[in-house]
Amino acid sequence: TLDFCVEKGYSFYHKKSHQGLLRNLVVRHGVKTNELLVNIVTSSEDGFDEQAYLDMLLELKLDNKLIGVMRTFNDSLADAVINEGVKILFGRDYYNEEILGLKFKVNAFSFFQTNIEAVERLYSEALALIPNLDSKVVYDLYCGTGTISQLMASKAKKVYGIEIVQDSVDAAIDNAKMNNIDNCHFICGDVKAKLDEVTEKPDMIVVDPPRMGMHDKVVEMLSSYGIEQILYISCNPNTMAMNLEKFSELGYEPVVMKAYDNFPKTKHAEAVTLLTRTDSYCE
């Protein structure tokens, strides 16, 4: 892609002047399926030769299978991949992945774990901390594309997944159907706003929040259910630590904690913590 764009003389997008054509290249890879989804992000400036770019990609000798090529338009001032319109140049706008025997359709703009082998270990060990899911109602908060929800669904009575990104919720619904799972219910919206809409109260809660962690109000709401245990999966142990301090004030203490280096040679680490009500733990 770089060679192609240099040869064509395309300009790159300047953050300060907000002018230029090329912004991002996003390549999504299905580790278990060997599928590649390519998404080139540009401004709406004229001049990008879509057909020539597609022809170049289709002629490449690849170890993986190219299943989709997209062009996303982004004229926003934010230095991020903002979808302001998409053209599918070839194939489809999603790829398939597998985790612990379940199949997942991952849309182009949905968050999904990248280190599949590492996350399989993390999820397996995290869910093993839950003593018994049989016939229980489970909340999976910040559920993304519903990976953890569906892994728990085989034992739980019902799983409610809440996620703010509509694209991820749509993928979660499709994934549950693809895996023949009918006891997962997915809700799109902010956790703080949507918790009160679920009338069936939880027996178990699993949270996997974004890097910013959870708002204190959400911690208070989760603690108010008074359930015995809460499983916290974190991609930012710093904000998790702040949340745990608030949980401690409300009667929950960590009894198991483990860190995972899912992204070696980067600053990022993940962590899993099992919280238990202090009164039940003392007993």
Catalytic residue numbers read 235
The tokens for 265 are 């040679």
What is the C-alpha separation between 78 and 82, in angstroms, rounded?
8
4: helix, strand or coil? helix
**First vs last C-alpha separation in the chain:** 62
47: helix, strand or coil? coil
Residue 39 burial class via C-beta count within 10 angstroms: exposed 0-12, middle 13-18, buried 19 and up: buried
What is the C-alpha separation between 245 and 40, in angstroms, rounded?
42
β-pair type (22-30, 229-234): unpaired
105: helix, strand or coil? strand
